[in-house]
Amino acid sequence: MKLNITLCHFRVGETDGVSLEMDKWKIILEKLGHHVTFIAGSKGVLNDVEIIEELHYNDSNNNKIVENAYIKFHSFENEQALKDAIEKDAQSIEKKLLCIIQKNNIDLIIVNNIFSLGWNLSAGIGFYNAIVNSSVNCICHHHDFSWEREKYSHPTFEFIKEYIIKYFPPVHPRIKHVVINNIAKHELLRRKGIESTVVPNVYEFENDWKVDDYNANFRASFGIKNNDLIILQATRIVKRKGIELALDVIAEMNSRKHALIGKKLYNNQLFDENSQLVFLMVGLNEDDPYFDQIMNYAHQKQINIKWVNDRIDHDRFIKNQKKIYSLWDTYAHCDIVSYTSILEGWGNQFIEALVAKKIIISYQYPVFESDILPLKFNTIDLGNKYLVKEDGLTEVLPKITAAAAEKTIEIILDPQKYQQIVTENYTIGKKHLSLNALEILLKIIVNYES
């Protein structure tokens, strides 16, 4: 049975993990013969998107509600005024969603994170009511949950807590649930009695991200030499990404630069006296205080750090006579990928590094331990225990950081070893985390819905 399916999120067509994962689901669902559209608050670089303005990730009304619901109540006259604001936007979202469902004859709505975190209370309520008041089936695709984030743990009023219990996520006969890791599956069952299916993040492993005519000048555009080493941080910039752990490894590598100078690297480039280790951040900055901390920390450690998000997007295009590069161009030019998150729902950037065939510096956050570690990838490992310093940044034991720096240098100087590691990692990833693996799961899930 071929269905009209819509994928929903706060944003699409961007480089955040959920947007990228939705792209993959669309590819597979269309391959299976279904007609697939998007609903979001913003369309990024895409054109064919149904927009519901209240879903925008930075919607001013919702930002005000989030502040008053979870952080500090100060912008509304009283509790009822806050509740009225939430309900008003919920009714607007419900009405708009019902119109889209009717107009496009939607059979199945796949809701990404709208029912998960409680970030947009109005969206959760509005989407639930629209589903109840229509005949549409729903798959809730949960990437994160409210109980995983400190922000949502102390709502300002009891009614906010009641909303979270009822709608995040909801229970209904036409709503089924998908999670991205086994920890989430067990917690969802334990906390809410909801059964779910695990669908891990995946990627198209046939992609061939290489230097080409368009991105050939990528390094030069940012003042990076061909014989510099690029350590890529492709994630968004938020505190849970543990970016400082990578900076500590780079600082240790800088203290050992004598081991690199005058030697050929894995890519046949000669690392000389003028060569540098460049820490390249390309993701969105969604945490200004943390961003400032990271930049200051890097400068204290005399690390060459560059943030180039204004030149990186979902796809390539020209803006103001300058090239905008795709996220995939950054992988083509980097030498090492940093993936030192202390908390993740799964790990999009980890898979992207596998596809790009780059070595990876990784920290064993809980889902890494439960879902990724058993697959036996070969990474530069920072272990599974961190400490929080007085400034709020994290660190692992100095001996672990030092060992990681030494191992990275060893691999960078050994072309055969570098190639062996990335090839073996790629093979494992392709077997377990490819679009083919996703297709098998979606056949089961969507057929069950239909």
Q: What is the mean pLDDT of residues 318-336?
A: 96
User: How far is the first Cα of the chain from the last one, in angstroms, to the nearest whole number?
Assistant: 7
Q: What is the mean pLDDT of residues 135-154?
A: 92
58-67, 142-151, 244-253, 285-294, range with the lowest pLDDT: 142-151
Six-digit token string for 330: 């950054």
Specify the DSSP element, H or E, that contains 366.
helix 366-367
389: left (phi over 0), alpha (psi -120 to 50) or beta: beta
Cβ-Cβ contacts under 8 Å for 104 (sequence gap 6 or more) = 4, 6, 37, 50
E-assigned strands of 68-204? 108-112, 137-142, 175-179, 197-198
The string of pLDDT tens digits covering residues 185-223 is 999 999 999 999 999 988 889 887 899 999 999 999 999
With both helix axes pointing from N to C terminus, report the angle between 121-132 and 158-167 in degrees, rounded to the nearest 10.
Answer: 50
Q: How does residue 448 score in pLDDT terms, banded at 50, 70 and 90?
A: low
Q: Is 59 exposed, middle or buried (0-12, 13-18, 19+ CB in 10 A)?
A: buried
pLDDT at 47 over 90: no
The string of pLDDT tens digits covering residues 79-105 is 999 999 999 999 999 999 999 999 999
Tell me which DSSP letter residue 197 carries.
Answer: E
Pick the residue with more confidence: 405 or 19? 405
For the chain, helix, strand, coil in percent to 5 are: 45, 15, 35
Q: What is the mean pLDDT of residues 173-183?
A: 95
State residue 71's pLDDT score: 94
Six-digit token string for 87: 């309900």
State residue 100's pLDDT score: 98
E-assigned strands of 118-249? 137-142, 175-179, 197-198, 229-233
Residue showing tokens 């750090």: 305
Enumerate domains of the chain plus CATH numbers.
Answer: 4-202+435-449 (3.40.50.2000), 218-432 (3.40.50.2000)
Q: What is the mean pLDDT of residues 253-266?
A: 97
Q: What is the mean pLDDT of residues 344-370?
A: 94
Spatial distance between the Cα atoms of 175 and 2, rounded to a whole number of angstroms: 19
Among residues 143, 137, 129, the alpha carbon closest in space to that of 107 is found at 137
Q: What is the mean pLDDT of residues 275-279?
A: 98
Q: Other CB atoms closer than 10 Å to residue 57's CB: what's the count?
A: 18
State residue 447's pLDDT score: 76
Six-digit token string for 226: 């061909």
pLDDT at 359 over 60: yes
pLDDT at 59 over 90: yes
CA angle 179, 372, 164 (to 5 degrees): 25
The string of pLDDT tens digits covering residues 364-404 is 999 999 999 999 999 999 999 999 999 999 999 999 999 99
Mean pLDDT, the chain, whole residue set? 95
State residue 385's pLDDT score: 98
How do 312-313 and 322-326 pair as beta strands? parallel
CB 450 within 8 A of CB 107: yes
CB 167 within 8 A of CB 115: yes
The percent of residues above 90 in pLDDT, for the chain, comes to: 90
Whether the predicted model's global pTM rises above the 0.85 cut = no
State residue 346's pLDDT score: 83
The string of pLDDT tens digits covering residues 10-27 is 999 887 878 888 999 999
pLDDT at 33 over 70: yes
pLDDT at 449 over 60: no
Q: What is the mean pLDDT of residues 243-261?
A: 98
